[in-house]
């Protein structure tokens, strides 16, 4: 059956035009600027245009009109079927002190796994340098670490003033470089986690080799004072990026999860963004500390101060990750404090 096309278009075109205008407006303004009547009207227009599409497809099969109505319906569908308000206000402080640590704890198993992989890498790198001194040159990618640690310490401790020149550029270079590495660690999780595991392991190998090299040379205190102030934040940040990579890898593999891969990925995408966002914030802090504190040594910067600051940072970081965002409540029957995440 072919309907009267002229009459149909004359009757329905005002509806399509009104829907088109509303869709353009929605693209420009959030829903907050619409009142209830306008939203109801929008819903009605979208439903009516959908019905027109069905009508035109079954009764007329007019290609141009069908393409036009499909474009209207597809645009309206995306807006109407949306479950969450895209204009929801982002609260950065709440996100960092509550959402980020909660997400970290939700995927704690992946973090522990990232730590284990890095530790195995450390043992491998440390062992290689311990048993084969020539392995150092092959393992360490940075040429400034190829020399004798004692000579470096002697040279560093010869400086008698703190130079501020170049520190701002150095800190931003560290922040951006480390953030890019962290993103790569996360992104490689798409290879069923294998890429993230390899990068974490390799990172561990370098770290282990540096630690072993300085310990063998008897420069343990220098090493601790050098690495701890920024490493206490930077290394956990890279491990959290590895955690995110393993979360992504886990969703790809889907062990013990009956959902489809598509659904598994859909579930973890917000968590990946939260984790990598938190990592970026931590790396900004680590970059500042590495540039403005870690590179200054005795006599101008006493080692005990640097080590103390590093220890405090480490304790604060893991207290924050372990406790922040938890809700404490008293048990009814006694005075024992109960702690838990709101979503637990």
Report in angstroms how near the CB of residue 105 gets to other proteins at its nearest: 19
**Under rule CB under 8 A, residue 48 binds other proteins:** no
Eight-state DSSP code of residue 329:
E
CB of 161 to other proteins, least distance (A): 16
Who contacts 228 (Cβ-Cβ below 8 Å, separation ≥6)?
306, 307, 309, 310, 311, 314
- List Cβ neighbours of 154 (8 Å cut-off, separation of 6 or more): none
Of 119, 145, 187, 301, which one interacts with other proteins (CB under 8 A)? 187
Task: Work out whether 180 is an interface residue with other proteins (CB under 8 A).
Answer: yes
- Structure-token match 């770290």, residue found: 207
Among 33, 133, 150, 173, binds other proteins (CB under 8 A): 173
**From candidates 126, 193, 195, 325, binder to other proteins by CB under 8 A:** 195
Q: How many CA atoms lie within 13 A of 115 on its CB side?
A: 7
**Secondary structure, 3-state, 5-72:** HHHHHHHHHHHHHHHHHHHHHHHHCCHHHCCHHHHHHHHHHHHHHHHHHHHHHHHHCCHHHHHHHHHH
Determine the Cα–Cα distance for residues 46 and 8; give it in Å rounded to an integer: 17
When asked if residue 114 is in the footprint of other proteins (CB under 8 A), the reply is no
CB of 70 to other proteins, least distance (A): 4
The rounded distance, in Å, linking the Cα atoms of 339 and 341 is 7
CA angle 232, 236, 238 (to 5 degrees): 125
Binding of residue 79 to other proteins (CB under 8 A): yes
Q: Residues 29, 30, 38, 74: which binds other proteins (CB under 8 A)?
A: 74
Task: Phi first, then psi: give them for residue 333, nearest 5 degrees.
Answer: -80, -20
The verdict on 166 binding other proteins (CB under 8 A) reads: yes
Is 81 an interacting residue with respect to other proteins (CB under 8 A)? yes
260 binds other proteins (CB under 8 A): no
Q: Binding other proteins by CB under 8 A: which of 35, 165, 335, 342?
A: 165
Shortest distance, CB of residue 234 to other proteins, whole angstroms? 17
Is the C-alpha dihedral spanning 92, 93, 95, 100 positive or negative?
Answer: positive
Shortest reach from residue 74's CB to other proteins, in Å: 5
H/E run at residue 330: strand 326-330
Determine, following the binding rule CB under 8 A, whether residue 29 of this chain makes contact with other proteins. no
21 binds other proteins (CB under 8 A): no
Judged by CB under 8 A, does residue 106 bind other proteins?
Answer: no
Binding site for other proteins (CB under 8 A): 2, 4-7, 9, 13, 16-17, 27, 47, 50-51, 53-54, 59-65, 67-68, 70-71, 73-74, 77-79, 81-82, 84, 86, 165-169, 171-173, 175-176, 179-180, 183-184, 186-188, 190-191, 195, 248, 262, 265-266, 269-270, 272-273, 276
């Amino acid at each position: 059956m072919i309907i009267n096309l002229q009459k149909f278009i004359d009757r329905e075109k005002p509806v399509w035009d009104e829907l088109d205008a509303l869709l353009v407006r929605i693209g420009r303004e959030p829903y907050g600027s619409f009142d209830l009547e306008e939203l109801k009207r929008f819903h009605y227009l979208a439903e009516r245009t959908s019905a027109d599409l069905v009508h035109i497809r079954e009764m007329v099969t007019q290609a141009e009109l069908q393409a036009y109505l499909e474009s209207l319906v597809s645009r309206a569908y995306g807006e109407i079927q949306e479950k969450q308000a895209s204009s929801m206000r982002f609260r950065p402080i709440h996100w960092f002190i509550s959402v980020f640590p909660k997400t970290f704890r939700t995927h704690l198993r992946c973090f522990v796994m990232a730590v284990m992989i890095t530790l195995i890498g450390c043992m491998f790198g440390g062992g290689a340098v311990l048993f084969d001194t020539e392995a150092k040159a092959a393992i360490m990618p940075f040429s400034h670490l190829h020399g004798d640690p004692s000579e470096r310490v002697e040279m560093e401790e010869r400086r008698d003033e703190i130079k501020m020149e170049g520190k701002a550029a150095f800190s931003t270079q560290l922040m951006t470089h480390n953030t890019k590495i962290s993103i790569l660690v996360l992104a490689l999780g798409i290879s069923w986690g294998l890429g993230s595991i390899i990068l974490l392991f390799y990172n561990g190998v370098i770290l282990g080799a540096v630690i072993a090299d300085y310990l063998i040379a008897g420069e343990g205190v220098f090493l601790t004072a050098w690495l701890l102030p920024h490493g206490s934040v930077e290394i956990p940040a890279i491990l959290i990026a590895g955690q995110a990579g393993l979360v992504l890898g886990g969703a790809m593999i889907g062990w013990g999860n009956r959902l489809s891969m598509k659904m598994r990925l859909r579930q973890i995408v917000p968590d990946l963004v939260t984790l990598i966002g938190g990592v970026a914030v931590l790396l900004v802090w680590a970059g500042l500390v590495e540039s403005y504190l870690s590179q200054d040594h005795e006599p101008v910067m006493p080692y005990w101060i640097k080590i103390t600051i590093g220890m405090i940072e480490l304790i604060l970081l893991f207290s924050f990750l372990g406790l922040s965002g938890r809700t404490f409540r008293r048990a009814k029957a006694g005075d024992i404090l109960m702690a838990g995440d709101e979503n637990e």
